[in-house]
Structure 1
């Protein structure tokens, strides 16, 4: 896509790719509430490829580069990790996904999921150096007093905090599948 392109110019192509199951279209949410699909802003969305291996091949990224711990490819690692997490979350088939960004703010939640009757705000981090400023603000300020709990998927191990739980990247699929099957659970 060319820089500054409008979605309308590519609407048919995007719809075809989505219908073929080659890309996932994740819409921005105007509000975080149930049902999420009611609050989709159809004109604001992100596209994710169905497979991270294909994403890496299309970007011509040598696999060894993904394992390097420095900042050589940090921006791509973030996008790659978000793509991986989304494909793992959607594998359970009982998940509705969107993303949320506050107007006139840099605050953005990577994903907001509807899993059964629960809404899960999600932040994705590609490294062990994790700060979830947007997630913290959303949970502790915007939704203070509610029972909403945030989830961060990262390279760090499992860790529970009062407002957020960190889930290791390797456990995304089992965690979401368990949530989809059993609903709200206190401990993972």
Structure 2
């Protein structure tokens, strides 16, 4: 599978102000593969060290602060000479050795000639606590599941070539629209987890995909009990398992009482912060005004939580594949489609999406693009725009307004209907 994050890693390698790089993201999204593939294709050699598998590695970092001495000892352990510029140093599961995480500071200050990348499970929760890592001394790259474009390239390279070549407002022929919609429906079922995509490509067996998804969900739930933090693992599990019922509500707003009867913010807000930091959940704040800059109008007590992978959400919700493939309406279709769109939009814009609501209704997402605020409506089928979306456009006259649906690609002045499969290319096509 081709991961587009490889281009980000290549840019990092060529950067004049490069710092040690940390890859953050949920477990099993492909961080280890990405680091090794980067080392294999862009360097003469790579030296891989896993702090979970090699306990004795930790002593090197406990005793030594000098990066040249650290590299000398790592060369002895790996059996290869680690050369500046030519050897990529990979630290995996670095959260198991806080001293190694802290050593990245010394690589930045004293040994910038060495190229160092690191990753680990639940690193986001450590990075959320500034005392736990060298602030300002590292670059950070967020890695998620495959987006739709990456999935399409793995599934059908010829169709992806057509997809990647689409330009702003270009007419999409019916035959390609149908094939891309089919791929979109497959993505809703399979999602972007590398193990699930790989299983589908090899076996074409939906039961194997479901089995892989269930096993991944079990892995995550087991992680909650092992995280050794100050957050109650039972509360992590309760919040995580409530996501389907939270999104199934009419407005989708997160309510503590849905997690547990009588639940309050003080009971679960730390668990939510942990799950968001760990990359398991995506949080979308409601804003009091749909104006630039959006974060200034965040209502911190009003938000929605979405799962980081749509295929896993589909599995958690127990949606039958036939409901998606036969394009029938089902109760959870709207939230599943929103989760898909958010997953594709993530990382495209400098400011993460928000949503807005007033007495007339709700705008699914607001995107800040420069100083422009773009309203986004998400439709799971071929429905026309809601009255609240039309009213918002009429009153505020945004430069661009986007509706994602299963209808074709149509531009009408500032209003654009984008087929759902184009969500991962929204910014390019504005």
Could you tell me which of 265, 276, 286 is aligned with 1:28? 286
Contact 1:85 1:172 in 2 (8 A): yes
Where does 1:98-137 land on structure 2 (aligned, <5 Å)? 98-102=354-358, 105-137=359-391
Matched, 1:76 2:332: yes
Moved more, 93-102 or 22-31: 93-102
The structure with the larger Rg is 2
Which of 149, 158, 163 is the equivalent residue of 2:400? 149
CA drift of 1:6 comes to: 4.0
Which structure features the higher share of helix residues? 2
Distance 1:4 1:53 in 2: 31
Give the Cα–Cα distance (whole angstroms) in 2 for the partners of residues 136 and 156 of structure 1: 17
Q: Distance in 1 between matches of 2:299 and 2:333?
A: 27
Shift of 1:60: 1.8
Q: Is the 8 A contact 2:349 2:368 kept in 1?
A: no
In the alignment, does 2:321 pair up with 1:63?
yes
SS in 1 for 2:352: strand
The answer to whether the Cα contact below 8 Å between 1:27 and 1:98 also exists between their aligned partners in 2 is yes
- Which 5+ residue runs of structure 2 have no aligned equivalent? 1-258
Q: CA deviation at 1:148?
A: 3.2
Q: Counterparts of 1:111 and 1:4 in 2: how far apart (Å)?
A: 29
Secondary structure of 2:332's aligned partner? helix
Measured after TM superposition, the shift of residue 77 of structure 1 is 0.6
Q: Map of 1:45-64 to 2, 5 A cutoff?
A: 45-64=303-322
The equivalent residue for 2:348 is 92
Unaligned runs of 5+ in 1: 180-184
Q: C-alpha separation between the residues in 2 aligned to 1:92 and 1:35?
A: 17
Tell me which residue corresponds to 1:182: none
Determine the structure 1 residue equivalent to 2:133: none
For residues 41 and 92 of structure 1, the distance between their equivalents in structure 2, rounded to whole angstroms, comes to: 23
Where 1:175 maps in the other structure, the secondary structure is: helix
| Number of positions where the alignment pairs a residue of Structure 1 with one of Structure 2 | 172
Pair 1:123–1:8, CA change in 2 (3 A): farther
Q: Partners of 2:342 and 2:378 in 1: how far apart?
A: 10
Is the 2:379–2:403 contact (alpha carbons within 8 Å) kept by the matching residues of 1? yes
1:41 to 269, 285, 299: 299
Using a 3 Å threshold, how does the CA distance of structure 1 residues 3 and 85 change in structure 2: closer, same or farther? Answer: farther
2 CA distance for matches of 1:52 and 1:140? Answer: 32
Q: Secondary structure at the match of 1:96?
A: coil
Given the superposition, is the C-alpha separation of residues 108 and 55 from structure 1 closer, same or farther in structure 2, using an over 3 Å criterion?
same
Could you list the per-position Cα deviations for residues 10-43 of structure 1 after superposition, in whole angstroms to 9, with x for gaps in the alignment? 1011101000011111010000111111111000
Where relative contact order (Cα < 8 A, 6+ residues apart) is larger, the structure is 1
Q: CA RMSD in A?
A: 1.9
| TM-score normalised by structure 2 residue count | 0.38
Separation of aligned partners in 1, 2:367 and 2:261: 29
2:373 and 2:272 map into 1 onto residues whose CA distance is 27
Q: TM-score, normalised by structure 1?
A: 0.83
